[in-house]
Structure 1
Amino acid sequence: MHTDDQLLLAAARRGDPIEVRAALAAGADVESRDHEGRTPLLLAAAGDQVAAAEILLGAGADPDARDGRDDTPWLVTGVTGSVRMMRLLLTAEPDLRLTNRFGGTSLLPAAERGHVAYVRAVLRETDIDVDHVNRLGWTALLEAVILGDGGRAHEEVVELLITAGADPLLADHDGTTPLQHARRRGFDRIAGLLQAASARATPTGQGDPR
């Protein structure tokens, strides 16, 4: 790897806009990779280094460039929950259909981690698929229940997903619905939200959606 590329990767990781500009001016490759296949933009996105990311995007950095773990700068925003980075990367028109190594879009890890502001923003500002199913058979709604802690943040995420049209009846590969998972975990408030949503989604005469 050229020295300038190494300097660019380090500057992007630190979020140093002056050094990012200097490395690019010296001829560093904006799509250079570190030992894990991460580009400067992915490193900046992972560290929520917005100023550095803005410079990299201006130099033509790809928001969809995958690393060795199948992460991309865009997908990483769902993990960090950074709304600022999400909005910046949206200006580069990332592919919202790309998935991580688990087969999930950026919405799924955000729901899992209870990133309320991110979930709200990505649902309002993009056409991301609210019912995307990953390789485990989980939707964002299922992730919020199965991997969440049942606290206020995950309650809000569940509310946001339901309001955005998430199907509360979509079960996992074992046939277990979000409502059933919530009841099993003792998440009473979330179960109440899902019970009401499931009742609205259940055809008349089908009985209690257990």
Structure 2
Amino acid sequence: MSDGQERAWEEFAPRYLLEVERSEAATSVHPEARLHPAEEYGRAAPLVVEIGSGQGHAIVHAAAQRPHEDFLAVEVFRAGLARTMLDAARAGAGNLRLIEANAPEVLASYLPEASAQEIWVFFPDPWHKSKHNKRRLVDDDFPPIARRALAEGGLLRLATDWEHYARQMREVLDRAEGLERAFDGDWAPRYEGRVMTAFERKGIERGREIRDLTYRRVR
């Protein structure tokens, strides 16, 4: 991290970062570790979880604009978490928490079952080389853990600027049990709650189509 990010981490981690019991790896989550949202946020409110929050542009903006909801950013890179905390403090987003952890473990056990009103997966690493496709987050193992964390009627929102990954996401989620499309046609409309970031703008400038998908937990 840069010196500024180090300072942000030291100053703001006590306020924003969730302490979690680890298993083995530095970003692992112990299978018995649990988040208690009402205790952590000090209230009962809808919970929105962003997987792979990067530098936090989308979730900080949303948390500042939607104070009556709670937000959780899940990320493994400390530099991104440090930037997120710094921007959250500047925006006065007291309804945001961060966890430095592997997303699948957060969804599979750390979040209480049916606790998230929305889960966001915006521009995950596409691992665009064929030999690396198996590293993608959204594969056949992903829908069951996402569904577990979602409340009934809750929404899974995804976006990517890689056509091949978008089609893989759609194929995987279309055949998943307990999830249904929440859009008509081939793709969902752009989610208005997603702030336009430099990353998304760069993809558009390079001629890549942004593909959105939205699925609802039905049972």
TM range (shorter): 0.3 to 0.5
Higher strand share: 2
TM-score by length of 2: 0.34
TM-score by length of 1: 0.35
Higher helix share: 1
**Larger-Rg structure:** 1
